[in-house]
Structure 1
Amino acid sequence: MKHKTVDVWETTRRRLDVIHRDFDKIVVMFSGGKDSGVMLHAHLDYMREHGITKKIAVVHFDYEAQYQATTDYVTEVMTSNLDLIDPVWICLPMAVISEVSMYQSHWKPWDPELEDIWVRPLPDVPGVIHTGNVPDDFPEYDGVWDYTLQEQVSRWLHRRSGAERTAVLVGIRTQESLHRQGAIHREDKHAMWQSYRWTTKINKGVYNAYPIHDWNVEDIWAANGRNQWPYNELYDYLHLVGVPLHDMRVASPFRGEGQESLKLYREIEPETWGRVVGRVNGANFTAIYGGGRALGAGKVKLPEGHTWKSYAVFLWKTLPEERRAEMLPKIRTTMRYWTVSGGALTASTAENLRDNPPEGVEVEFLGAPSDGRKRKVPMEVVRFSRYADDLSGRGPSAEVPDWRRMAICFLRNDWQLKGMGFGQTKFRRTQRVQALEKLKETL
């Protein structure tokens, strides 16, 4: 398919036809970024063209520490379309991952106990939900991971509306990442509405929908220009300071993937930056060193006199006890995975290991995986007698297991060990139990 704005727009209109035909409750997740903004404006234009007056819910999760330009844009959108939307503006102390501090694995925006150092005051507009006005039937939120709360809010809106089916529109594009591409196109996908692969069932009667998943970033800006839709002016500032088009993001600057943007606060909004430094531990240090080797960016050099194992152990001992306790179960899991059961590597990486085995480590090649999963490339199960020190050059650094990879996780304050292949989890087992119990109540 050619990615011309008119092509993707017509495809999106057909998806909106399905959404308004088959779903009696519609929720739009609006971050204030370019993708969710275009998705929302396209939807509002569609509603006006078709004379649809039944309001949609527009949900914005406010992370407190954000650019004023983002807040201004969200305020404009959420207050100028009240004929078609019910705004749901979440300002609650949920848990948000922080990878800028050795001591703080998460932080809580809008924490009422820290109101004196909030980055900005609570928004004073319709639809804001804060600790002083939370509805009685609202999901548990204090310390709940933000992504978990997003799903719970979707179920809450579905339940209180009495709808049979709710569509939750999410502005992701597969161009952004392989993970997003997999959400749409993975071969084993079954949980969707009818046969529409651009939907995903997340709960009984609740489906995520991705109406602009096949748009490119050029389509986004062409649509904004052609339709004269308002957009977040932060992108103009990012352009002026030299950020490439494909690297422009409106996201939490305290996540690992957002650390590079921290330093831009000083240039774009120095007043906001001054308050951010005092709000989240490690923000200033990461802004200074986040793009360098001190935090694992670029080519990390091994300190003289160390092996990667001894360096990783040294870094491990510098971590606070609480951080070590959170990470230890995952470290043990990855050790068992590669040294006991064996893990799947691409066939090309396995072949490289045959031709160039790591010194002092025995490698067993156990053949093709037998788990029945469909894979796009040939794979082979490999088992190591112990963790190798450095497998550089034998395969992609994100694939091969070694002490170098683990040391970089420690340097980056990667508490979730995403660099070792783990996904995000709850930060405390007790909160996970609470979240599961809460979910059972809604089923």
Structure 2
Amino acid sequence: MARKTLPPKPLESDVYTLACERTARIFDTFDHVYVAFSGGKDSTAVLNVALEVAHSDPRFERHLPLRVVHQDEEAIPYETEEYVRRVGQRDDVSLEWYCIPIKHRNACSRTSPWWWPWAPEAREKWCRPLPPEAITELDGFPINPPEKRLTAPHANGLFAPPSLGNVGMLMGIRAQESLTRRRIVTQRREVNYLVKYNDGTSQGNIWKCYPIYDWTTDDVWTAPAHKGWDYNHAYDRLEMAGVSHHLQRCSPAFGEEPLQKLHTYAKCFPDVWEKMVDRVPGVGAAARYALTELYSYHGRPEKPDGVPWPDFLRHYLTKWQAKDAAKIAARIRQELVAHYRKTSQPLVVNAPHPDTGISWDFLLMLVMRGDFKGRKQAGGRINTDGEGRPTPAQWHRYAAELNDIIAAGTFADLAHHRPPPADAYDLVPDYAKDPE
């Protein structure tokens, strides 16, 4: 059962001051710290806050030059490489530039669901030449065979061996980015930005540290402008292309969520895009069709009348490899169990259920897209009032759709275990009877 999250606590300090205070505590607490630096906007904020704090007091000088670990994902803009190089040339930075075949998701293809940047067997297809600063081996990381290679989370422990003592890994994770990330920092009231990390190769001595977890996208961009920080100029190209600030990404756009912006690489970074098309299976098709129902963006396939929704989902499950299909099926069961533990009311097609946020369309999206990183959470689809209850408008949307389904004679397609109500508005709680 998910732990209950705590409501936001208003503070008088600004987010920059709070980030500095958290970073100072991290520097005092841990034997060793390093910045996990992608070259993106969020890790840029973390890096610069950490450097300013490190220079602010003699007691922090033991952390200088600041260790900065960059995992180069190969299919990235040249502007990112140039920016990382500028960071590495700073006297107060000790940069480690890793080009190793970390295991990454490839949502462009269901038959080739993984890809490995800088994989030695794909050298002739690399999107960029190997940077001269590249570190191509990491103690404990298996290069061959490919199936033994680690994902980034599972490899984190290799950057923090026990010989370093207790290690704080500074990361640019922000609660605004997803419901999952918000929950991470809202389940504890005290020191909620430090999370013990025990996955993969971790040996129990590493903590994930989120000093800017409460920053918004506006904050992330205000800070460089106000403080004069250097930044990744790939964002300038994305800005000129009209990509909204919230969706601007410089990492490889092969995952489930970044996939919807894959086409911007062709427009903004053509020199890398030319190589990307041949580098990873399915990229060409995804660039053309990612915003269609084929990849479950901007619409879903229409279910035939008379086909129960569970059967429709099973049809799309068969399009995955067995191992991935099993993971997705387990997620769907988990969502359904969570729903029926909370309510005995049926799911409808489009409207999120006010108590759980689940609908059949949401489950179909999970089946078609995968969501292997768990970034799509049904709870984020619930709109609440000032008392934390689902809004009357959300209840009335659900009831109206359920009544329409009953009237159309398609209630059986919902595969509900009880007869339909005479009037779905009877399911609306008293406080929500009057629509907003």
TM bucket (normalised to shorter chain) is 0.7 to 0.9
Q: 1:411 to 1:85 in 2, by over 3 A?
A: same
Partner residue in 2 for 1:411 = 368
Worse-superposed segment, 209-218 or 41-50: 41-50
Percentage of pairs with the same residue: 25
Say whether residues 1:41 and 2:39 are aligned partners. Answer: no
Tell me the residue number matched to 1:197. 192
Instruction: Read off the aligned partner of 2:264 and give its amino acid letter.
Output: L
User: What is the RMSD computed on CA atoms of the aligned residues?
Assistant: 3.1
CA distance in 1, matches of 2:329, 2:288: 29
Change (3 A) 1:129 1:392: same
TM-score (norm 1): 0.72
Structure 1 distance, partners of 2:263, 2:196, is: 38
TM-score, scaled to structure 2:
0.73
* Deviates further, 307-316 or 32-41: 307-316
Q: 2:185 maps to which residue?
A: 184
Counterpart of 2:279 in 1: which secondary structure? coil
- Asked whether the 8 Å contact 2:37–2:70 carries over to 1, the reply is yes
Match of 1:275 in 2: 275
**Is the 1:15–1:211 Cα contact (8 Å) retained in structure 2?**
yes
Residue 393 (1) aligns with residue 393 (2): no
CA positional deviation for 1:12: 1.9
1:387 matched to which residue of 2? none
Cα separation, 2, equivalents of 1:48 and 1:420:
39
CA distance 1:169–1:400, change in 2 (3 Å):
same
Aligned-partner Cα distance in 1 for 2:124–2:16: 46
Q: What residue is the counterpart of 2:87 in the other structure?
A: 77
Whether 1:138 aligns to 2:136 is no
Letter in structure 1 aligned against 2:246 = H
Matched, 1:113 2:121: yes
- Which residue number corresponds to residue 104 of structure 2? 96
Matches of 1:184 and 1:408 in 2, distance apart?
27
Does 1:68 pair with 2:51? Answer: no
Q: 1:311 to 1:19 in 2, by over 3 A?
A: closer
Distance 1:419 1:88, change over 3 A: closer
The reply to whether residue 129 of structure 1 matches residue 135 of structure 2 is: yes
Q: Offset at 1:231?
A: 0.4
Q: Distance in 2 between matches of 1:185 and 1:316?
A: 34
- 1:57 equivalent to 2:64? Answer no
Supply the distance in 1 between the matched residues of 2:212 and 2:352 (Cα, whole angstroms): 38
Q: Give deviations 1:277-327, integer Å, cap 9, x for gaps.
A: 00001111111111122211123241556734554444444x36xx12432
Describe the superposition over 1:357-407 as per-residue Cα deviations: whole angstroms up to 9, x where unpaired: 47xxxxxxxxxxxxxxxxxxxxxxxxxxxxxxx6433627984374x5554
Indicate the structure whose relative CO is greater, using CA pairs within 8 Å and at least 6 residues apart: 1
Q: Verify the 8 A CA contact 2:108 2:281 in the aligned structure 1.
A: yes
Change (3 A) 1:220 1:313: closer
Residue type of the alignment partner of 2:365: I
8 Å CA contact 1:12–1:211 kept in 2: the answer is yes
Provide the rounded CA distance (Å) in 2 between the counterparts of 1:177 and 1:8.
19
Q: Aligned with 2:300: secondary structure?
A: coil
Contact 2:38 2:70 in 1 (8 A): yes
Equivalent positions of 1:296-307 (< 5 A) are 296-302=296-302, 307=307
Question: CA separation in 1, counterparts of 2:300 and 2:293?
Answer: 5
SS for the counterpart of 2:207 is strand
Shift of 1:211: 1.1
Match of 1:147 among 149, 152, 158: 152
State how far apart, in whole Å, the 2-side matches of 1:71 and 1:15 are.
Answer: 29
Unaligned runs of 5+ in 1: 190-194, 359-389, 423-443
Once the two structures are TM-superposed, the CA of residue 119 in structure 1 deviates from its matched residue by 0.6
Question: Partners in 2 of 1:408 and 1:87 — Cα distance?
Answer: 40
In the alignment, what sits opposite 1:231? Answer: 231
1:27 CA drift (Å): 0.9
In the alignment, what sits opposite 1:164?
Answer: 165
**Alpha carbons 2:75, 2:251 under 8 Å: kept:** no
Answer whether contact 1:35 1:171 (CA < 8 A) is retained. Answer: yes
SS in 2 for 1:274: helix
Deviation at 1:335, TM superposition (A): 4.3
Q: Is the 8 A contact 1:93 1:110 kept in 2?
A: yes
Contact 2:195/2:207, CA 8 A, preserved across alignment: yes
SS in 2 for 1:46: helix
**2:335·2:358 contact (CA, 8 Å) conserved in 1?**
no
* Mapping 1:204-223, distance limit 5 Å: 204-223=204-223
Please say if residues 405 and 419 of structure 1, whose CA atoms lie closer than 8 Å, have aligned partners that are also in contact: no
Letter in 2 for 1:185: T
* Structure 2 residue runs without a partner (length 5+): 1-8, 199-203, 379-436
